[in-house]
Structure 1
């Protein structure tokens, strides 16, 4: 049975740059996205906006054994193993990115009260980048500051790949944010941005994936037990 993983790891500059330019391959590795970490809501021009030495890696594996072998046997895998990662069971997909289009729209029903992990991946239309930033940064702050997220971050790989990753205490809390339920001026930031995207798409391709967390490994920025 296939398994997904999401990793955060600090890397030497040459290792990080090499992985961004040429993503690794290995037996049992079906797809991998290597991206530079970003701080959600950070100014567009700042050192926090693109952190090349702090990689975010999202991958699909044939099975958990392939993931474990990669982390133990490959040089890049051992660097990933020194950071933090969560292993994930796929639940649901919205939208389409070519490399992940084989995933079903719904693999399994989601328990509304259970913790979930959300991953988005987009290939941005470069002429739409200013609009994407203008509408996206308020949503970044909304997700980052939401009381029901235990970790939320973004990542990018120039020139057009952008991803987000968030851990939620429950699926109910996540969908409440997505559809603008709640009080205050910030509650509808995400739903308003989705309406703007429907009016004129920011992306060539876009997908949102929902997962059940299976297990958590390591630590990140001194934190562990990030999964509720």
Structure 2
């Protein structure tokens, strides 16, 4: 069964820059279907803030043939050993909206959802260059909504130049996440996400875009000095 991983890791600046300019070929890593290597950003930070681009902090979103391939990469590959020193989740896909190239997603074999368990959401967008200013205008309020929402356990964003932007968030449960999406939360100005989606419907910001929803199998390592973002939840396959 294909498994996804989401990694957050601090790497030496030379290693992180190499990843941004010379992305590893997935074909050379046994069991890897596809991976996106991105520079982490702080959600909601100013476009010109140093927090907008954290060059040493790398986010990696990957799809694997199975867990054996993940374990082999993290214990035997030279880059994989460095990535293993960070934090990551192993994920089973439950829902997909939109479409993104290079990943192999079979929507006929999605994992069933547990309504009370933590939910992981990943978005990936390939931007239209001329639409980036408009995207920032409507997207930043949504970033702040997700960042400050009481239902999130962890939220961050990442970018790969010139046009890939991604978000990652862990929610306490499905209800908290869907309340945010549909503007039903108790947050100030709760309809920021709906407003951005309406604007996108008028004229798309993206060449391609997807939102993927997951349940976590397992959590490894620490992020920002903290571990166990999922609490006592665990899922077996």
Counterpart-to-counterpart distance in 2, 1:73 and 1:216: 20
Query: How many angstroms does 1:184 deviate by?
Result: 5.2
Give 2:10's aligned residue. Answer: 10
Name which of 204, 217, 220 aligns with 1:214.
Answer: 217
Counterpart-to-counterpart distance in 2, 1:45 and 1:63: 40
What's the Cα RMSD here? 1.3
* SS of aligned partner of 2:52: coil
Counterpart-to-counterpart distance in 2, 1:15 and 1:161: 20
Q: Which runs of 5+ in 1 are unaligned?
A: none
Counterpart-to-counterpart distance in 2, 1:79 and 1:11: 7
Query: Structure 2 length as normaliser, TM-score?
Result: 0.93
Q: Which runs of 5+ in 2 are unaligned?
A: 232-237
Query: Structure 1 length as normaliser, TM-score?
Result: 0.96
Does residue 75 of the first structure (1) align with residue 78 of the second (2)?
yes
1:64-105 alpha-carbon deviations (Å, 9 max, x no partner):
000000000112111111010010011110001112363317
Give 1:48's aligned residue. Answer: 51
Counterpart-to-counterpart distance in 2, 1:227 and 1:155: 21
Distance 1:64 1:152, change over 3 A: same
CA contact (8 A) 1:92 1:106 kept: no
Give 2:112's aligned residue. Answer: 109
Name which of 144, 150, 154 aligns with 1:151.
Answer: 154
Distance 1:194 1:105, change over 3 A: farther
